[in-house]
């Protein structure tokens, strides 16, 4: 960048996996000034919150170890995006000007009001504050007291396993165990849960009280603490800013992840809905989404045509305590194959994947172009064109 040239101001809203990676990765051009806005002063390893609650891992990491020195961190909450004036309004009363905005607000735990008692008595486990609240509650609950985890997807399985391994009496409830996995992988998960002493009950929850979970068929389960992991929502920032969203509040974009309402707003992570068909909410999806989003911003700066999203999935994984895991191998389109990796080998691989997420963010801080993502097309070549133009 020449001495009298003004930098392109890029504001990233949200400092999770997608946002932190985007803030580091977009620095591939030297005429970019990056500001990251996040409500917390530390990065939260969301995929380890079940460990945080169980007390065997601190799921927070200092941003000073993740972000490049030239990324400005603003600890505040974005309350409104004014696309007309290209400003972001903050809860503190301050505003940030931008030339391009990367919308990376992520997702939140969603406890449905349609289930009587759920919002009053269930403990979600999708955000750091929710994990802290649950951990505090468990301090007053004896290990022998029965607790219920609602939601038999990957998050629920991980939570139930972690609590059981810590010595708790756990019941896992859901309409189907590990529905995103193949039958062989589900059997692997069921076997590991049984070994840990987790009771699995299939059924839909109809109501919750302080000490009971009732199922739609009339059965009830005693519960000293009920944890809710069934489903996610997204922050309301986009809708509150007059930007169009899908039914869950994800920002509607085209295939380059550009907002259908404004060409200078680009989305990534769980809060993006490309062509109204969002990817599975996951840490894994954040990398291809972020590479595409950053490529779109850099292409707009360079005046070149941005490339569309072309993700390739490898699979999904769920930890089963500290000594086992199931890694589901998937096709490019995220559909499950009958192949999986389980047991202790799976646990080692799962741990490597968790560590690798932070390693990837740090690597991009040191070398902005060094972002690994599986590709199905010609993203690398198109991104190189945008950087060098």
**DSSP 3-state of 110:** coil
Q: What is the DSSP letter of 262?
A: -
Helix (H) or strand (E) holding 81: strand 78-82
Residues forming a β-bridge with 315: 329
C-alpha separations of 81 from 191, 256, 259, 379 in Å: 48, 20, 13, 29
| Whether 69 contacts 50, CB under 8 Å | no
Domains of the chain: total? 2
E strands, 175-248, in order: 199-202, 205-208, 212-215, 220-222, 225-228, 232-233
- The residue out of 177, 198, 228 marking a domain boundary is 228
Cα dihedral sign, 263-266-271-274: positive
- Which of residues 179, 198, 228 is at a domain's end? 228
Query: Residue 272: which of 63, 105, 141, 139 has the closest Cα?
Result: 105
Residue 365 lies in a domain: yes
Residue 70, token pair as written in the block: 């030239």
Q: Report the 10 Å Cβ neighbour count for 33.
A: 17
- 262 and 348 share one domain: yes
pLDDT, residue 373, reads 65
Would 92 be classed as within a structural domain? yes
The reply to whether 92 and 167 lie within a common domain is: no
Q: How far apart are CA 288 and CA 184, in angstroms?
A: 28
Q: What is the DSSP letter of 168?
A: -
Cα end-to-end span (Å), the chain: 13
Q: How far apart are CA 342 and CA 184, in angstroms?
A: 10
Local structure of residue 50 (DSSP, 8 states): H
pLDDT value of position 387: 38
Q: Is 149 helix (H, G, I), strand (E, B) or coil?
A: strand
**Residue 243 shares a structural domain with residue 347:** yes
- Residues 167, 143: contact at Cβ < 8 Å? yes
Q: Is the whole model's pTM more than 0.85, yes or no?
A: yes
358 assigned to some structural domain: yes
Q: With contact defined as beta carbons under 8 Å apart, do 305 and 299 qualify?
A: yes
Is 117 within a domain? no
User: Are the beta carbons of 389 and 304 closer than 8 angstroms?
Assistant: yes
Which pLDDT score is estimated for 322? 96
Residue finishing a domain among 196, 228, 260: 228
Report pLDDT for 307: 94
78 plus 201 within the same structural domain: no
Domain with 280, as residue range(s), is 8-108+232-388
Q: Could you give the maximum distance between any two Cα atoms of the chain, in Å?
A: 72
CATH of the domain at 152: 3.50.50.60
- 128 and 66 co-located in one domain: no
Residues 256 and 279 in one domain: yes
Question: For residue 3, is it within any domain?
Answer: no
Asked whether residue 116 is assigned to any structural domain, the reply reads no
How long a stretch of residues is the chain?
Answer: 389
Q: Are residues 167 and 180 in the same domain?
A: yes
Q: Which pLDDT belongs to residue 271?
A: 92
- CATH code, 315: 3.50.50.100
> Which of 14, 64, 17 minimizes the C-alpha distance to 45?
17
Mean pLDDT per 10-residue interval, the chain, length 389 residues: 79 97 96 97 96 96 97 98 98 98 92 94 95 97 97 96 98 96 97 98 97 97 97 91 95 97 96 87 83 96 94 86 95 89 96 94 94 52 38
Residue with tokens 């000034």: 33
Q: Say yes or no: 353 and 254 in one domain.
A: yes
Query: Both 314 and 198 in a single domain?
Result: no
pLDDT at position 384: 37
1 within some domain? no
Token pair for residue 28? 């591939």
Predicted pLDDT of residue 375:
54
State whether 360 and 219 are in the same domain. Answer: no
What is the C-alpha to C-alpha distance for residues 288 and 284, in angstroms, rounded to an integer?
8
Residues 90, 239, single domain; the answer is: yes
115 lies in some domain: no
Query: Do both 95 and 197 map to the same domain?
Result: no
């Amino acid at each position: 960048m020449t001495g009298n040239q003004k930098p392109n101001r890029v504001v990233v809203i949200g400092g999770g996996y997608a946002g932190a990676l985007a803030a580091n990765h977009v620095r591939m051009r030297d005429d970019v000034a990056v500001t990251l806005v996040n409500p917390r002063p530390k990065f939260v390893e969301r995929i380890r919150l079940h460990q945080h609650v169980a007390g065997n891992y601190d799921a927070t990491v200092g941003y000073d170890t993740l972000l490049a020195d030239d990324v400005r961190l603003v600890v505040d909450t974005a309350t409104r995006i004014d696309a007309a004036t290209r400003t972001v309004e903050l809860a503190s009363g301050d505003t940030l000007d931008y030339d391009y905005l990367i919308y990376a607000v992520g997702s939140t735990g969603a406890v449905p009001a349609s289930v009587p008692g759920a919002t009053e008595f269930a403990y979600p486990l999708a955000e750091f504050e929710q994990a802290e609240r649950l951990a505090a509650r468990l301090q007053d609950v004896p290990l022998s007291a029965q607790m219920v985890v609602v939601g038999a997807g990957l998050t629920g399985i991980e939570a139930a396993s972690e609590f059981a391994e810590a010595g708790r009496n756990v019941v896992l409830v859901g309409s189907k165990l590990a529905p995103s996995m193949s039958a062989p992988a589900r059997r692997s998960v069921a076997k590991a849960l049984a070994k840990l002493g987790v009771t699995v009950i299939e059924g839909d929850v109809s109501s919750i009280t302080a000490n009971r979970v009732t199922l739609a068929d009339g059965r009830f389960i005693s519960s000293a603490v009920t944890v809710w992991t069934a489903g996610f929502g997204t922050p309301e920032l986009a809708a509150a800013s007059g930007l169009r969203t899908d039914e869950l509040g994800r920002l509607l974009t085209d295939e380059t992840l550009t907002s259908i309402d404004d060409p200078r707003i680009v989305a990534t992570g769980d809060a993006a809905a490309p062509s109204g068909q969002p990817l599975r909410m996951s840490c894994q999806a954040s990398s291809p989404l972020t590479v595409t989003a950053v490529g779109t911003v850099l292409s707009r700066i360079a005046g070149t045509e941005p490339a569309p999203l072309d993700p390739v999935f490898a699979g999904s994984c769920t930890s089963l305590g500290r000594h086992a895991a199931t890694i589901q191998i998937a096709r490019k389109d995220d559909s499950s194959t009958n192949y999986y990796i389980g047991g202790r080998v799976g646990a080692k691989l799962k741990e490597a994947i968790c560590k690798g997420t932070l390693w990837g963010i740090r690597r991009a801080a040191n070398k902005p172009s060094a972002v690994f993502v599986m590709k199905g097309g010609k993203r690398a070549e198109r991104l190189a064109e945008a950087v060098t133009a």
